[in-house]
Structure 1
Amino acid sequence: MAIIKLSAIERRRLSAFVTCLVIAIVAWMFTTLSNPYKFTVKQVVVFKNVPQKRAFHPLQPDTVNALVQGTGWQMLMFRMNDEKKAITVDLHTLDTKNYVVLSSQLKQINAGRDMEHDIIALTPDTLFFDFSSRTVKRVPVELVQAINYQKQFAQSDNVNIKPRYVTISGPAEMINKIISWKTDTVKLNDANEDFYGRVKLQGVKEGNLSVLPKSVMVNIPIDEYTEKTIEVPVKLVNNHKYYDVKIFPQKVKVTFTTSLTNYPDLNEDDFEAVADLDLWRNNGYTVLPVKVTRSPSYSKVVKIMPQNIDFIIKK
């Protein structure tokens, strides 16, 4: 392959040519991108001043096409950023009409944006709405949680939410399907103490729904757990013919986990252990297994000793 050898003067000339070419291209791009252009972008529609006495349902998608006046730089940034921006539409006219004309709100729409360019037109220019009677309903708050507890720690009592109910309002056909309203997720790692704080409710996805209040106070009791063993009397069930039955032993040892706060207060009255005589009558069991049918909330039975009891039936 032939190698072109350039003299020192030719290399300087070539370097100067390349430099001038690059400068010319950059200057051309800067000048071109500084010129004004009109271009179309997608805009998400959000509503304000929604009617309080009329429920509504938009008859078009939640996005519109906006014709924007801006520089080439701004157009380039829009093309590079796929995130759809939002425009706020005032619905105060829906108290008397079933449509909103966007062109009549262009001035306030542009005033509410933090962009350096203005929207010239919106397509569609008119938004139409379907109306139905508005219903009000109280539903319980449903806590969403993702809690990772530190070793030997766990929730020790019922979650306390204030207020326990929220008020939702909107179209009857939508309200009737809602049985609770969820909170944002409470996320805790290595939790080892009570959680108490304000948690936001999940936002509404439909513009014709409203939820009050927007947040609740949540208290999640968290405590350290340990094991405790107590003796619990065994209760014989399904003795339909009232046989004279003697069981041995009459008490079993129940080992369970409980919070340190509840540890001193728990006794045999908080538990119920049963043996089912139907297992002998229907299945021929010679010993009866023992089951714990009642135990305190947030306690977990670890083992029962003995697991089976002997019995004698006197006919």
Structure 2
Amino acid sequence: MAIVKLSATERRRLSVFFTCLGVAIVAWIFTTLSNPLPYTIDAAVTYKNTPQRRAFHSLQADTLKATVQGTGWQMLFSKMRDDSKPLTIDLSPLETRNYVVLSTQLKQINAKRDANQQISSIDPDTLYFDFSNRLTKKVPVTALMNINYQKQFAISGNVTIKPAYVTVSGPTDRLKEITEWRTDSVHAQKVNETINTRINLQPVKEGNLNVYPKTVQVVIPVDEFTEKTLDIPVKLINNHNYDNVKVFPQKVKVTFTTSLNRYKDMTEDLFEATADLDLWRDHGYSTLPVTINRFPPFCKIVKVVPANIDFIIKK
């Protein structure tokens, strides 16, 4: 293959040519991107002034196509990042009809946008809605928790939520499906004290639903836990023939964890230990396992000694 050898002058001229070509291309791109250029974005929809006496359901997607009067640079950056603001649609016209014309609201929509990113049109231009009777229902609030506790600390009581119920209004069919309303997740790490915080409810995903209030107060009691041991009498169950049965021992030692605040209140009356005589009668057990049927909430059974008891049946 022949190799073209260029002189120093020719190489310099070739270098100047490619440099000028590169500068021209960059200048052309810069000029083109600086010129006005309409482009289309996907814009999410939010609603305001929703009808209070009519439940509604949108008959189109919650994302619309909006044509923006901007520049090529703005179009380029809009593709690189998702920073488009949602379009807030005024639903007050639904008080008298079942559709909203978006072109009549462009002025108020653009009032919240930058002057160099004004929307010229929206597709579809008309939004249609389906209506049904609007009902109101109270549902309990459920707190979602993602909590990591410090060693020997744990939740020590029932979570308190104020208010415990929220009011949900919307279509009858949709309300039948709603049995609770959840909060955003409460996140905390290495917790060693009670949590008292205000948390948002999970947002409404449908425009035809309303939830009030939007936030609740959540109190999560947290305490240090320690072990305690009590002697609990064993109760014999399923003695159908009323046999004279003696169990040995008559009490078992139950070790459990409890919060320090409730340590003194933990008495044997709060526990119930049972042994099932049917295990001998139906299955031939020679010893009966002890089961702790009842113990205080937020306590954890660590061990039962002995785990099995002997018995004697006198005829």
Check whether TM > 0.5. Answer: yes
Aligned position for 2:197: 197
The change in CA–CA distance for 1:14 and 1:43 in structure 2 (over 3 A counts) is: same
Aligned partner letter, 1:56: F
**1:206 matched to 2:202:** no
Distance across 1 between alignment mates of 2:266 and 2:108: 65
Distance of 1:286 and 1:65 partners within structure 2: 77
Question: Match for 2:50: what amino acid?
Answer: V
Distance 2:135 2:166 in 1: 14
Cα RMSD after superposing both structures: 1.8
Summarize deviations over 1:235-255 as a string: whole Å, max 9, x none.
Answer: 111222222222211111001
Aligned to 2:3: 2
1:1-315 alignment runs, 5 A limit? 2=3, 4-7=5-8, 10=10, 12-81=12-81, 85-114=85-114, 116-315=116-315
Contact 1:99/1:129 (<8 A) preserved: yes
User: Residue 137 of structure 1: CA displacement?
Assistant: 0.4
The structure-2 alpha-carbon separation of the partners of 1:270 and 1:113, relative to structure 1 and needing over 3 Å to count, comes to: same
User: Is the contact made by 1:36 and 1:69 (CA closer than 8 Å) also made in structure 2?
Assistant: yes
- By how many angstroms is 1:27 displaced? 1.9
- State the identity as a percent: 60
CA contact (8 A) 2:69 2:116 kept: no
What are the Cα deviations for residues 13-66 of structure 1, in whole angstroms up to 9, with x where unaligned? 444434333332222222211211222222222111111111000111112222
Name the TM-score, length of structure 2 as normaliser. Answer: 0.94
The normalised TM-score by structure 1 is: 0.94
Give secondary structure in 2 for the equivalent of 1:252: strand
Deviations 1:100-128 (A, max 9, x none): 00011010011122462211111111111
Q: Give 1:219's aligned amino acid.
A: V
C-alpha separation between the residues in 1 aligned to 2:204 and 2:66? 25
Give the aligned residue type for 2:196: Y
Give the match's secondary structure for 1:261.
helix
- Kept in 2, the 8 Å contact 1:87–1:113? The answer is no
Change (3 A) 1:62 1:260: same
Q: Greater shift after overlay, 114-123 or 286-295?
A: 114-123
Count of residue pairs brought into register by the alignment: 314
Show structure 2 runs of 5+ residues with no match: none
Moved more, 30-39 or 88-97: 30-39
Q: How far apart in 1 are the matches of 2:287 and 2:23?
A: 97
Cα distance in 2 for partners of 1:309, 1:25 equals: 92
DSSP 3-state at the match of 1:264: coil
Segment drifting more, 100-109 vs 118-127? 118-127
Unaligned runs of 5+ in 1: none
Q: Distance in 2 between matches of 1:34 and 1:284?
A: 91
- Distance in 2, Cα, partners of 1:4 & 1:223: 85
SS of 1:184's equivalent?
coil
| Bigger shift: residues 21-30 or 101-110 | 21-30
Deviates more, 1:269-278 or 1:61-70: 61-70
